[in-house]
Amino acid sequence: MKNIENIITNLGGTIIINSSDIFIKSKFKCKKNHIFELYNNDVLLNNKWCNICQEENFGRKFLIELGIDYKENFVIENVVFDYSFIRNDKKILFYTVDSDNKKLIIAQKHGFKSIIYDDNLEKNSKENIWNAIINDKNLFLKKIENPVNITHKCTLEKILSEEKDNTGSIIKYAPKPYPLNNKIAYGYIRVSTSMQVNDGFSLDAQENKIYRETEYRNFFLKSLYIDRGISGGSTENRKALNEMMEKVMNGDDEIWIIINSISRLSRKTKDLLSLVEDIERKKCHLIIIDLNLDITSPSGKLMLTMMAGQAQFERELTSERVKNVLQHLKETGNLRTKPSFGWMLNPDRSQGAKIHIRNEKEQKIIQKIRDYRNENEGMKITEFTRLINDNIKSPRKSKEWYRKNLKQLMEREGIK
């Protein structure tokens, strides 16, 4: 039997009169000084408490009605969440919305799902809460502005250096086993100041954008290399960047390196060109999300040459200037090349819009090819082409899958 005194203490209340008769109500006072009467068993067994507070607090009210064994005032990284529910593989936090999404970011960082509510929401939200708990999903019962949703699998960490104010260099990497027949991607992230590190949002936002890019391109994000609070003026002190480049130079795999903007990699033309040259020498690729460009491709090299030739490039380069140049090339049609299978031209030509967008119907066909390859590893390409022709409709206007074209598609998609 639970101890009534301990429960009331945990609720922040006090017992005014504690009845020893189960048929006579006791008198209690909650932490907001509301005085009320309840049977002890209602508190011990039915999770009942102050009716006024329960009416005022949407979260507690519905947790009690759902019979959820919650804990109040759960603390992570010195941030207090209203309630928590932890059982087996379910980890859920309940709380009201905050203005800067800090709670949401911390919850996701530590593997918790979030149910974010508003005290004024309608009662019919109870079913939505219950479904979110059962299915282990986030639920935003209050509109969240620009939520950062980090879902990548790079959950293991290696600390390269740790300085004051949480600055320094770390690697986040995904545990084995790695998926078959997916291109491997590394993400590189850098913020310049300790203020940006402690804010957290800048780092998490970069992680999120890189992960979404890998999902968009059907890559597998194997590692994230992060330099926190380190200037982009030189590559010498950036241990995460140097570790990543060492992996690239000493490895045999074709790696796709993804960064959010060119300034994250380097603000010096000499260092930038040197890094790109090393990446290209290993037949790897550099993707810059803000430019929507693979900078080791022919059009990317043209862009890099144009940027490198600008006077005082070292400190004056801004993403807006590059976007204007890219926008001009897009509007004149110089970059609107015929899309590969699985992609189509984006009808939106506005500034910042991607040149190509996913053709979801063709993407499903690519996934089928990947699945067949996983089931038939080592099969010669000619025999594999016959297998694909027997099971998958021919692409676009072709009469059948041709060995050469299928091989090129598989190489492009990282299917071995």
pLDDT in tens, the chain (416 residues): 457 787 787 677 889 998 888 888 999 988 778 888 988 888 877 767 777 765 555 566 667 777 777 887 788 877 778 888 888 778 888 887 665 567 877 787 777 888 887 655 555 567 777 878 887 777 777 655 555 555 678 888 888 887 766 678 999 999 888 888 889 999 999 887 654 554 444 677 788 889 888 988 889 999 999 998 887 667 778 899 999 999 999 988 889 999 988 778 876 767 777 888 888 888 898 888 877 666 766 776 677 666 555 533 444 545 555 566 656 666 665 555 678 899 888 777 666 677 788 888 999 999 999 999 999 988 999 999 999 999 998 888 888 999 998 999 998 888 98
Q: What is the pLDDT of residue 31?
A: 79
Q: Is residue 220 part of a domain?
A: yes
Instruction: Examine the domain organization and report whether 172 and 293 are in the same domain.
Output: yes
Region of 78 on the Ramachandran plot (φ > 0 left; ψ -120 to 50 alpha; else beta)? left
Instruction: List Cα–Cα distances, 317 to 140, 178, 295, 329, in angstroms.
Output: 39, 37, 16, 18
Instruction: Examine the domain organization and report whether 195 and 307 are in the same domain.
Output: yes
Instruction: List Cα–Cα distances, 46 to 53, 54, 205, in angstroms.
Output: 16, 14, 42
Range of the domain at 392: 360-412
Of 89, 110, 140, the last residue of a domain is 140
Phi, psi of 288 (to 5 degrees): -110, 110
Q: What is the pLDDT of residue 327?
A: 65
Residue 176: which CATH number? 3.40.50.1390
Instruction: Examine the domain organization and report whether 326 and 297 are in the same domain.
Output: no
Q: Which residue intervals of 24-137 are DSSP H helices?
A: 40-46, 51-56, 58-65, 102-109, 125-135
Q: Contact, 229 vs 198, CB < 8 A?
A: no
Strands (E), 202-281: 219-228, 255-259
Q: What is the pLDDT of residue 146?
A: 52
**How far apart (Å, rounded) are the C-alpha atoms in residues 59 and 81?**
11
Q: What is the pLDDT of residue 200?
A: 45
**How far apart (Å, rounded) are the C-alpha atoms in residues 414 and 254?**
9
Instruction: Examine the domain organization and report whether 294 and 161 are in the same domain.
Output: yes
The single-letter code of the amino acid at 5 is E
Q: Is residue 151 part of a domain?
A: no
Q: Is residue 146 part of a domain?
A: no
Q: Which SS3 state, helix, strand or coil, does residue 38 take? A: strand
Instruction: Examine the domain organization and report whether 176 and 302 are in the same domain.
Output: yes
Instruction: Examine the domain organization and report whether 205 and 267 are in the same domain.
Output: yes
Instruction: Examine the domain organization and report whether 209 and 304 are in the same domain.
Output: yes
Q: What is the pLDDT of residue 311?
A: 34
Q: Is residue 234 part of a domain?
A: yes
Instruction: List Cα–Cα distances, 6 to 2, 14, 15, 43, 193, in angstroms.
Output: 8, 10, 11, 11, 46
Q: What is the pLDDT of residue 201?
A: 45
The single-letter code of the amino acid at 20 is S
**How far apart (Å, rounded) are the C-alpha atoms in residues 308 and 18?**
80
Q: Is residue 105 part of a domain?
A: yes
Instruction: Examine the domain organization and report whether 247 and 380 are in the same domain.
Output: no
Q: What is the pLDDT of residue 122?
A: 55
Q: In what order do the strands lie in the sheet with 156-162?
A: 156-162, 168-173, 219-228, 183-191, 255-259, 285-288, 293-294
Q: Is residue 148 part of a domain?
A: no
Instruction: Examine the domain organization and report whether 274 and 330 are in the same domain.
Output: no
Segment (H or E) for 324? helix 319-331
Q: Which SS3 state, helix, strand or coil, does residue 270 take? A: helix
Q: What is the pLDDT of residue 145?
A: 52
Instruction: Examine the domain organization and report whether 379 and 279 are in the same domain.
Output: no
Q: Is residue 149 part of a domain?
A: no
Closest-CA residue to 133 (of 65, 66, 56, 81): 66
Instruction: Examine the domain organization and report whether 391 and 364 are in the same domain.
Output: yes
Of 74, 107, 140, the last residue of a domain is 140
Of 107, 140, 173, the last residue of a domain is 140
Per residue in 138-169, is it b (16+ CB within 10 Å) or e — as a string? bbebeebeeebeeebebeeeeebeeeeeebbb
Peptide bond into 177 cis (omega under 30): yes
Q: How many domains does the chain have?
A: 4
Instruction: Examine the domain organization and report whether 290 and 329 are in the same domain.
Output: no
Q: Would you give the DSSP letter of residue 35?
A: E
Q: Would you give the DSSP letter of residue 322?
A: H
Q: Is residue 372 part of a domain?
A: yes
Give the chain's end-to-end CA distance (angstroms, integer): 61
Q: Contact, 391 vs 372, CB < 8 A?
A: yes
Strand 14-17 and strand 285-288: the pairing is: unpaired
**How far apart (Å, rounded) are the C-alpha atoms in residues 341 and 170?**
37
Q: Which two tokens stand for residue 135?
A: 């299915």
